[in-house]
Amino acid sequence: MPPKPVKPTPGPSQASNLTANAGNAVDENLLKAIRNIVQSVIHEENNALREEIRRAVSPLKAALETCEGTLQEHEEGLNGLDSRLEAMEKQYDQLYDNYKILQAKTDDLENRGRRCNIRILHVKEGLESGNPTKFVANLLTEILGGPGGLQSPPTLDRAHRTGPANGGRPRSFLARFHYFQEKEQVLRLAREKGRLEFQGGQVMIFPDFSAGLSKRRAEFIEVKKLLRGKEGVRYGLVYPARLRVSFQGEENMFDTPQAVKDFIANKM
């Protein structure tokens, strides 16, 4: 009977290798198990986080959709307001133009109603003795009479003091002439005579204009002072509120004081 083969007994180095291989296999299995556990935990956490985010975002999304709808409504409303505002601006411009036209017509009608009136300033109170119309007619004859002046009292429809007595400065007289030509004659004589004296005081006579027209005419006072004294220059206000300037044989009409200033700067 043949002898049985004898198995080689592993040496110390071989035993060490086997132990190392067995340890490596255990480590790999352990790492794989840990990796699987970590992946599972991460997956679960991701799913939980994703669900939490979904629940949190869902109402925000609904609120955002509501805001978008509201914003769109506001935008449409603003567009409608822009259209209405544009239409209102056009209507305002038209109404303002109509207002200016009506204002000019009203002012013209008011001044046409005053075309036969004059105002007399600085006449002492109480001299009229209860009959202002007769007093003013005689007053005009006295201060504007003489050769080339008034030969008889002008025909007045009425005359009266303006405003209530205040105990201070004498109130002005407002006189209405029956004839326009007589009113023009009185104003011309007053301009020609210059300083008018009555009972030791100076009396002044002016046309009776509306407040608006008086303001427009007063705007030329400054440029009239600039023209005063210039050689060869003649000037005067023309109704309603234009300044006529004659210089070197040429006559010019100006509607604004600035136009007169430009003329003085460039031509004189």
Instruction: Specify the higher pLDDT residue, 144 or 46.
Output: 144
Q: What is the pLDDT of residues 177-199, one digit of tens each?
A: 999 999 999 999 999 998 999 99
Give me the mean pLDDT over the 190-210 stretch.
Answer: 94
Q: Which residue, 113, 130, 149, sits at the end of a domain?
A: 113
What does the alpha-carbon distance between residue 98 and residue 94 come to, in Å, rounded to a whole number? 6
Token pair, residue 64, equals: 């955002």
What does the alpha-carbon distance between residue 40 and residue 30 come to, in Å, rounded to a whole number? 15
Domain span including residue 99: 30-113
13 lies in a domain?
A: no
Q: Which residues pair with 243 in a beta bridge?
A: 237, 254
Cβ contact 204:123 at 8 Å: no
73 shares its domain with 120: no
Q: What is the pLDDT of residues 26-82, one digit of tens each?
A: 678 888 888 888 888 888 888 888 888 888 888 888 888 889 888 888 888 888 888
121 shares its domain with 202: yes
23 lies in a domain?
A: no
257 shares its domain with 177: no
163 lies in a domain?
A: yes
161 lies in a domain?
A: yes
199 shares its domain with 239: no
133 shares its domain with 165: yes
Whether the full predicted model's pTM is greater than 0.85, yes or no, is no
223 shares its domain with 194: no
Report the pLDDT value the prediction gives residue 134, as an integer from 0 to 100: 97
242 shares its domain with 199: no
Cβ neighbourhood burial of 175 (10 Å; 0-12, 13-18, 19+): buried
120 shares its domain with 195: yes
Residue 257's CATH number? 3.30.250.20
Total number of domains in the chain: 3
Q: Which residue, 208, 227, 256, sits at the end of a domain?
A: 208
Token pair, residue 41, equals: 């935990």
